[in-house]
Structure 1
Amino acid sequence: MNIKLCYFCKKFCVFSKRNFSVQSMVKYQRVVLGIETSCDETGAAVVDENRKIHGEALFSQKEIHLRTGGIIPSVARQLHKEKIDHVVTKAVLSSGISLHDISAIATTVKPGLALCLEVGLSYSLNLVKHFKKPLIPIHHMEAHALTIRLLHQLEFPFLVLLISGGHCILSVVNGVTDFLLLGQSLDESPGEALDKVARRLSLSKQAECSSMSGGESIEYLAQFGDKKFTKQNPPMAQYQDCNFSFSGLRSHYERLIEMQENKEGIQKGEMLSCAADIASSFQHSVAHHLAKRTQRAILFCKKEGLLPPLKTSLAVPGLHTRYGLKVVSGGVGSNQYIRQVLQNLTDDMNMSLLCPPPQLCTDNGVMIAWNGVERLCAGAGVLKNAHNIRYEPRALFGTDISERVQKSTIKLPPLKNIK
């Protein structure tokens, strides 16, 4: 641990007079420091139970990993170790709240890259020991699912679609620790598939895309292409469940790229003249697959009464909501085309759609701190003795009821406004 723990104490002696009102305020409410290091973002934030973000900081490793063509866990760990001290210090100092006045420290312990999770947990345990604070272990995907409650006074239950570089999950959120898993990806995540197709198209060699992630470059280039360039049957259409599969879809487009390269007489790694068309078509196929499985989830929830009518006070202005609300989060949830497709779906099915802003869809310390606040207020998973806590690279999500979905044999009508 690079930081000398007494550094915090010395700093906050200097800041205590200037921030006297803040320091007095936090004595009467719960405030949590959140720390995130599950993959390639080092994040920290200080959030209170009144949904106020007092301070936050983030270091993204994206540009470094773009140069190596993907995340190398050992490199990610080293970067976390180098930056975590600075990130946490910046978040805490900008909050104006002493760590002595923090109610608890929340940190991501699952799922994620083992080498990265270890850095955040080790750092947090040192803070917990020094400042004698409880530790709140956080499930990364649960934090994504509950981020929307930081922004809206949203009551349980609601339906959530989590789409990211590592996961694709459909779940009913009944409470802070109560999740019903309706479906998940059986192979690749949508983010992974988007990144692989972007690499196969060599989009990083395009000047406009050189600083973008694979998913971002696909979204950018797709604006200039024809989404109907090629037609591909939706994945898993024969299965009446809410699970996802993106590997077959991705393989189809990789074969298409190879075929087009041979047709144009160019080598692998050179830019295809139809690259924008392929990007647009692939993005649409991913969005369509997400929409079809989500359509079944909504119909299942209506049939089983899992989503009661949404209270008028919580309804999104301009939408006549009768059946509840769907939330989209996770890094791929930042994709504006995918959001629009899902917006069309929820409009057609008489539901509301809420999405966190892009900066809160990707990994960050705010969502970890907020999940810590939620757990602290609910008295769930708060550890006063954290000696035996361990990180878990793989972790289950909620209670799996996906077989119930399949047994419901729900048939899907054609999607309106999504062609």
Structure 2
Amino acid sequence: MLFHKYLRRTTIYAVQAYSCRALTYSKNTIILGIETSCDDTGCAVIDGKNSLLGESLYSQNAIHIRFGGVNPLVAHELHRENIEKAVAEALNKANKTSNEVDAIAVTTKPGLLVSLQVGVKYARYLSKKYSKPIVPIHHMEAHALVARMYYDLPFPYIVLLISGGHCLLALVKDINDFVLFGKSLDNAPGEVLDKVARRMKLKNISEYSKVSGGRAVEMAAQLSTNPGLFEFTLPLLRHRDCNFSFSGLKDALVRKLIKKEHEHNLKGDEIIPEVNDLCAGIQCAVAEHLAHRTQRALMYCEKNNLISPENRRLVVSGGVACNNFIFESIKFICNNMGYNTYRPPANVCTDNGVMIAWNGLEKVRKQCDIRSELSMQEVDPEAPLGINCINEVTAANIQTKATRLKRLYNNMGKVTT
């Protein structure tokens, strides 16, 4: 394949000069987005009218389920195998060719290094071959901004970004201007839900064998007949900041699970009878912790006049935003404080090429960070988001009481107190 030949000739291409025509925004601007930050190969094509022309997503979820989590080496090889097919499929659905694309947006940070490198190398290959500008994209910024493709969301607004790799609260002031209020001190919520699902052996239940651990927990929780059976102490209740911690909840679940396994004298792959109730309990604890920290972020913004009364908006994005109970929990808190709550469609909450293409389009509109070349040295697996304001939030010493949510698990994900 041409791309694999290119991979062997990267050094040669890197020293070759080429001319890249100037790019200005119009309604006819065409952006190709490439996302390979973790375990999914996503591509999308959008135009200057904010229309999604074509997209593709090659998911590795079924394969990584066997490993109990993302295996970086496997992810890298699958990205290499799928990247050309994913781009070709997105372009074909859009009825466009690579030469008709005006710019290529690609995730450069953060994520798995070996995964990011595949997407960036392929974007560089297309950029050089067709003399197209290239737009580097911060993965978390893309998650925070993609809701603007679907809703009228003027700046500023607050974002709660929750996924398998990240958990953060930030103020979105512009497409390249973010203020970080809080982040996870240990595990991300999606990571914890995946791990507890594995420990509860949910994959041994046929209905959950082909879905992610987090999705399995949500599905099992909906079947709970006694969602209050297992109670969890919420993390960081005495810490007046907006940081998160989920590892303690994971450890607490394991202790409760071991106790029940001993009570029932279970062995091997046997599952406790109360597994649905345990899923309901951990899901509720995660939702309450997220809601508690989000409430403080809203109060901090009001105290410091960062959000005007007529502009009270919060976006929930990332893979865990697909969890209806968690989203409705955040929405409940926001409603009580006069905030409107938004989330992108489920297919763009998880990693995807649409959000990358959209971020690229917004940068082209603003003539921001459009490159003729992109160095592989700019690939950064640990890139933070925005200006860190965590210490200032802590210094504000804002007291807020955690809202204990009664758990109503149904298809609508309704929440009451």
Aligned pairs (5 A) from 1:174-185:
174-185=173-184
Q: CA deviation at 1:134?
A: 1.1
| Number of residue pairs matched by the alignment | 387
The percent identity for this pair of structures is 41
Q: CA deviation at 1:83?
A: 0.9
Q: CA deviation at 1:233?
A: 1.8
Confirm or deny that 1:344 pairs with 2:360. Answer: no
Which among 374, 384, 388 is matched to residue 396 of structure 1? 384
Task: Name the CA distance, whole Å, in 2 between partners of 1:223 and 1:186.
Answer: 29
1:363-419 CA-to-partner distances (Å, cap 9, x unmatched) read: 000000000011111122111122465311111110000111111111114537665
TM-score normalized with structure 2 length: 0.90
Confirm or deny that 1:120 pairs with 2:119. Answer: yes
Confirm or deny that 1:86 pairs with 2:85. Answer: yes
Q: Is the 2:288–2:403 contact (alpha carbons within 8 Å) kept by the matching residues of 1?
A: no
1:129-163 CA-to-partner distances (Å, cap 9, x unmatched) read: 00111111111010000010111121000000000
Structure 1 segments unaligned to the other structure (5+ residues): 6-25, 311-322
Q: Is the 1:344–1:417 contact (alpha carbons within 8 Å) kept by the matching residues of 2?
A: no
The equivalent of 1:11 in structure 2 is none
1:80-126 CA-to-partner distances (Å, cap 9, x unmatched) read: 11111111001011112232222210111111111111111111110
Q: Match for 1:275: what amino acid?
A: V
Q: Match for 2:113: what amino acid?
A: A
Task: Name the CA distance, whole Å, in 2 between partners of 1:336 and 1:329.
Answer: 12
Where 2:228 maps in the other structure, the secondary structure is coil
Q: Is the 1:47–1:370 contact (alpha carbons within 8 Å) kept by the matching residues of 2?
A: yes
Q: Match for 2:326: what amino acid?
A: I
Task: Name the CA distance, whole Å, in 1 between partners of 2:268 and 2:117.
Answer: 38
Task: Name the CA distance, whole Å, in 1 between partners of 2:4 and 2:262.
Answer: 59
Confirm or deny that 1:189 pairs with 2:177. Answer: no
Task: Name the CA distance, whole Å, in 2 between partners of 1:28 and 1:328.
Answer: 28
Task: Name the CA distance, whole Å, in 2 between partners of 1:84 and 1:329.
Answer: 25
Q: Is the 1:200–1:269 contact (alpha carbons within 8 Å) kept by the matching residues of 2?
A: no
Aligned pairs (5 A) from 1:355-394:
355-387=343-375, 389-394=377-382
Q: CA deviation at 1:4?
A: 9.1
Task: Name the CA distance, whole Å, in 1 between partners of 2:402 and 2:75.
Answer: 44
Task: Name the CA distance, whole Å, in 2 between partners of 1:28 and 1:193.
Answer: 43
- The structure 1 segments of at least 4 consecutive aligned residues displaced by more than 4 Å after TM superposition are 1-5, 416-419
Q: Is the 1:41–1:58 contact (alpha carbons within 8 Å) kept by the matching residues of 2?
A: yes
The equivalent of 2:131 in structure 1 is 132
Aligned pairs (5 A) from 1:5-404:
29-225=28-224, 226-267=226-267, 269-310=269-310, 324-387=312-375, 389-404=377-392
- Check 1:388–1:342 CA distance in 2 against 1; reply closer, same or farther (3 A cut): closer
Q: CA deviation at 1:48?
A: 1.6
1:174-229 CA-to-partner distances (Å, cap 9, x unmatched) read: 00000000000000000011011000000000011011100000000001223311
TM-score normalized with structure 1 length: 0.89
Task: Name the CA distance, whole Å, in 2 between partners of 1:39 and 1:4.
Answer: 20
Q: CA deviation at 1:68?
A: 2.3
- Check 1:402–1:193 CA distance in 2 against 1; reply closer, same or farther (3 A cut): same
The equivalent of 1:316 in structure 2 is none
Task: Name the CA distance, whole Å, in 2 between partners of 1:192 and 1:383.
Answer: 34
Where 1:147 maps in the other structure, the secondary structure is helix
Task: Name the CA distance, whole Å, in 1 between partners of 2:298 and 2:249.
Answer: 24
Q: Match for 2:117: what amino acid?
A: E
